[in-house]
Amino acid sequence: MNLNKEQKKNVQYDAYAKYILSQKEVLARILKFTIAEFQDLEAEVIMELIEGEPLVSKVSTEPGETNQTFHDKITGNNTENTELEEGTIFFDVIFYVRMKDGVSRIIINLEAQGIEKPPYPLVNRTVFYSARLISSQKNRNFDHSNYGDMLRTYSIWICFNLDENCMNYLHLTNTPLLGSHEWMGDLDLMNIFLVGLDKNLSEKALKTTDSDLHYMLGTTYGIEERGIKKGIEQGVKQERLNIVKNMLLQHMPVEDIKKYSGATDGEILEAEESLCVK
């Protein structure tokens, strides 16, 4: 896949953003503020319940791939680098969490959504991801027709750049239409949280928000986001300076250097000074 500079920058930023949201300190607080069973636990306790290391952009949503990859890599032994695979969709972050009883488990999927208005119905995408979390359990978490062994799933979407702070909980419900028969089964297998963050959320506004989750995400992600952007910009500039230095060593005319590298006069001067070339 050939990417231009802006696409590479976006991919690099996306990888950093997912990395932030995959840190157990952040994950524990997200779980505390969304899942009822964890609300009375300290974040440090929840961190201990997270199994292995969360997988970041390694588990495919494609049929036949989710199960095997999740099974092989959920142990925390994954050392692969972030890759781009054309036509393949990956879960951002996925992991198991033990419940308070220390025995039962749930599956957590965390997604970072940075596009204000994606070109598709976001709720539909969340349902698709949740359906894959459930169907991929076949032969991994349950065998044959033992559907009672299925694990609950939670797909939590952190959506940035919205017009307001908001949060919605989507789940299955039972609406009796005739009679009072009680059907066997669990309605809590599919759980979706949509958490929206105000794009104009200032530090002053954060201090007055009624939502602990929004405060935590706004402060944590806001600080990290500024650091990430600064780091990426510095990295891009350094790469450009290295290219300019190589061109200067080849005695290329300044106008050609500006044309082919996109460097400014100031950057060319900086490169010249570092090489002591005048």
Residue ranges of the domains in the chain?
5-174+183-200, 232-275
Average confidence score pLDDT of the chain: 76
Highest mean pLDDT among 56-65, 179-188, 213-222, 265-274: 179-188
Q: 4 to each of 8, 10, 88, 105, 238, how far by Cα in Å?
A: 6, 10, 20, 42, 17
> How many other C-beta atoms lie within 10 A of the C-beta of residue 238?
10
Q: What is the pLDDT of residues 175-234, one digit of tens each?
A: 999 999 999 999 999 999 999 888 776 555 555 566 777 777 766 655 455 555 555 566
Burial 122-132 (b: 16+ CB within 10 A, else e): eeebbeebbeb
Q: What is the pLDDT of residues 73-107, one digit of tens each?
A: 443 333 233 333 334 577 888 899 999 888 899 99
Over pLDDT 90: what percentage of the chain? 30
Q: Residue 106's pLDDT is what?
A: 94
Q: Strand, coil or helix: what is 214?
A: helix
